[in-house]
A and B are shown apart, each in its own frame.
Chain A
Amino acid sequence: MNKTISLACGNGGEENNELISQVFYKAFKNEILDKSEDAAIIHNGELAFSTDSFTVSPLFFAGADIGKLAVCGTCNDLAMMGAAPKYLTCSVIIEEGFETRELERIVRSMKKELEINGAIVVSGDTKVVPRGSVDKIFINTTGIGKVLKKGISSNNISKDDVIIVNRDIGCHGAAIFVAREGIEMSSSLKSDCESLFPQVEALLDANIKITAMRDATRGGVSAVLNEWSRQSNICIEVEEEIIPVSDEVKGICEMLGFEATALANEGTFVLAVNHEDAPRAVEILKTFESCKNAAIIAKVTDTHLKKVILKSSWGTSRFLDTPSGELLPRIC
């Protein structure tokens, strides 16, 4: 570990994992935490429990705002464990001078998103700090969900599963980057920020055999696949050409030297599903407006255990690494 914490330690990739494992896991070690799931499963497997803090800048961006994000983020973590989001807490830290109107706008979009999830906020906390102590507003939400299907876990993926992604990837990361850096371009690019519980519910209602689900937030799809390959001791072989990526996101990646698989998402999730059920799962996902591009992108093998392999359409392959460092444009 470095002596000081750098921005790279919060990137959802390698440095982030190092910080979590060497500082927090070391101190808080217990059986539930060690499972490293999106949400902790507690109370004899009946409840899912998760927390997330939101610090996004700018607060309002194409496709969503920090309020919608704060509800989606926590509810999605619960949904990924096959749970229906039920009760949330909401803590806000506000910088002095913040406009009340903006706060109301944020809270309104939280309310709307709670309704989509069928969840309610049951406790909260508000702090106001002097100018400069936080960047406008930070929000933390913590949620409890009722587990609808037990046994969903990133530790149980096997060769019987294939990997599905619910939609085209990288929109949130690309949209935020464009907004933050003030890159002026005409495009329909917007964040994918969305509550995933309705999609999960539809899959569970249809009795799809889901082994694992994870929303591909910071670190993107490649971080999820790498975590899974290690947690389940498998090799994941991805067909690069089949990964759905919109032209807008491809364009941003092209200009700045990013990989779409490393970009953050807020309404994109990866599923490991029994191969027999996979085509049906894709069909169900495609009934959702945002999921027209849902696709089976990878198979599980034992070629290179604990590794993710990316295969090109001209027959070459390479490792797809966990993203590392801050997301920085390449120079040449």
Chain B
Amino acid sequence: MELELKNLYDDFRDADTIKAYAKIIKVDAAKLKNSINIMEVCGGHTHTIMKYGLPQLLPSNIKFIHGPGCPVCIMPKERIDHAYVLSMQPNVILVTLGDMIKVPGSNGSLQTARSKGADVRFVYSPLECLKIAKENPTKKVIFFAIGFETTTPMSAALLDAVIKQNIKNVFFHINHVTVPEVMRELIDSRDIHVDSYNNKIDAFLGPSHVSVISGSKIYEEFPRDYNRPVVVSGFEPVDVMQAISMIVKQFIEGRCSLEVEYKRLVTYDGNVKAQELVNRYFDKADLFKWRGLGNIPKSGLKLKLEFKEYDAEDIYKDILPIGEIEDHKLCICGNILRGMANPPECTIFGTACKPTSPIGSCMVSSEGACAAYYKYGNLV
């Protein structure tokens, strides 16, 4: 039998299965003493949850807190401004992934830069940069690398190919971030100005694709050190419903552990080869600033010093803006991400802060809590 694309998702969107899980969760949730707030860390999960209307299937004592796991949403204006400045340099082709190009920085988005004449392109795979570089030998191709553990190996693979093929016109601006550090920040911040103590997150839904690369082991600390169950889940509605029911079961059985719903591909150790590739080229950066959450220690990656000659941040350091841009004073993204506030409680929600002119990270793409509230409105 020939495998078709639809075989990969049809069963995981089956209405009867979804309804069956809804029933199981309802019966189990009735036994809960307290309500549970589950944070789906990843924007992909937020998308699934909102697109398929899953909150409508859950009893009132189970709520979602939409997490910070969208690489586009969390990109601070400082970094977008870097991309903008780089794209406006003569003889530069700035390449990035998908919807990164629509997020506004202080001077506008990369789309704005493009309408002013900059050569900005988006690719599906970073390796497409090789082709662009070969077709444009007199131009500098700068890859504005974004994403979590899922996309980092591809950036590493690009650099690997650039070095092996001795290509001299591909450079990198690295904005890769990692998931466990931001999860920890939300529930146990080291920043004295941040009230993480009162966070309302009771359990985490871990993104499966991150664990395909990094293994499920990266979440071990959360049940162990922070008493927060984690279930690693796939992205289809059936996956998410099953994962929720696994979380609820842990609570009613008094367990707190790391479980994997997405057994189709996730192992404890993950993709060791991909991890090696990443470790060969990247180091942990001391700090990475997250839009809406501020500086988080060790949450970002940078190119190793020995690959400095490929690092656009180093090569263009004289022209890249260095000033800090404060998050908007009225923005409460940090509290929303900790489950301590709902989007409509924010005074600038839907007024100064809208999807077309986002102020906080949660409004940037459909994967953010505020944008989802704004977009899908009062049905949820």
Given A247-B6, A317-B56, A319-B376, check contact A329 B115 (CB 8 Å).
Answer: no
A14 to B365, CA, bound (A): 15
A321 to B355, CA, bound (A): 13
Name the B residues within 8 Å of A6 (CB-CB): 111-112, 114-115
Smallest Cβ-Cβ distance to A5: which chain B residue: B115
A254 to B6, CA, bound (A): 9
A2 to B9, CA, bound (A): 40
Interface string of A299-325 (1 = CB under 8 A from B): 000001001010011111111010011
Among candidates A15, A241, A314, A332, residue contacting B150 with C-beta atoms closer than 8 Å:
A332
A2–B122 touching, CB < 8 Å: no
Assess whether B100 is interfacial by the CB under 8 Å rule.
yes
Name the B residues within 8 Å of A328 (CB-CB): 98-99, 101-102, 122
Assess whether B280 is interfacial by the CB under 8 Å rule.
no
A309 to B15, CA, bound (A): 18
Interface string of B127-161 (1 = CB under 8 A from A): 00000000000000000001110110000000000
B376–A318 touching, CB < 8 Å: yes
Name the A residues within 8 Å of B56 (CB-CB): 315-317
B71–A331 touching, CB < 8 Å: yes
A2–B112 touching, CB < 8 Å: yes
A321–B43 touching, CB < 8 Å: no
A314–B15 touching, CB < 8 Å: yes
Name the B residues within 8 Å of A8 (CB-CB): 102, 111
Interface of A with B (CB < 8 Å)? 2, 4-8, 14-15, 181, 183, 241, 247, 250-251, 254-256, 304, 307, 309, 312-319, 321, 324-326, 328-332
Name the A residues within 8 Å of B367 (CB-CB): 330
A14 to B18, CA, bound (A): 33
Given A4-B116, A6-B115, check contact A314 B19 (CB 8 Å).
Answer: yes
Name the A residues within 8 Å of B378 (CB-CB): 304
Interface string of B364-380 (1 = CB under 8 A from A): 01010000000111111
Assess whether B4 is interfacial by the CB under 8 Å rule.
yes
Assess whether B350 is interfacial by the CB under 8 Å rule.
no
A2 to B356, CA, bound (A): 10
B379–A332 touching, CB < 8 Å: no
Among candidates B19, B47, B115, B207, residue contacting A7 with C-beta atoms closer than 8 Å:
B115
- 17 extra interface residue pairs, beta carbon distance < 8 Å, beyond A304-B379, A328-B122, A330-B47: A6-B111, A247-B5, A251-B5, A251-B6, A312-B53, A313-B15, A315-B56, A318-B53, A318-B380, A319-B375, A324-B355, A324-B356, A325-B102, A330-B365, A331-B98, A332-B71, A332-B209
Give B75 Cβ to nearest chain A Cβ, in Å. 11
Interface string of B329-361 (1 = CB under 8 A from A): 000000000000000000000000001100000
